[in-house]
Amino acid sequence: MVDSGLLRSDDPVHLECLRFCFIPLIQHDLNFCTHLWNSYRIRQQRHMEAPNGIPTVMY
């Protein structure tokens, strides 16, 4: 967008419009990754004393 002249990276209005458009999409992906991470089941390890099962919420 910068190369084609559609976006000026020094213009605060342009940057705020980008944030307005893309932050919800980025947040959706982050929420999805967080859900996957928090629902991952940790396998029990032999000869190790480590917690197993589903971890408590990390994020």
Residue 59 pLDDT greater than 60, yes or no: no
Q: Give how far Cα 36 sits from Cα of 41, 47, 49, Å.
A: 10, 27, 24
Task: Pick 53 or 14 by higher pLDDT.
Answer: 14
Residue 53 has pLDDT above 90, yes or no: no
What is the pTM assigned to this prediction? 0.58
Mean pLDDT of 17-30: 95
Instruction: State residue 36's pLDDT score.
Output: 86
Q: Given pLDDT bands bounded at 50, 70 and 90, which one contains residue 22?
A: very high
Q: How far is CA 18 from the centre of its chain?
A: 17
- Residue-range domain boundaries for the chain: 1-59
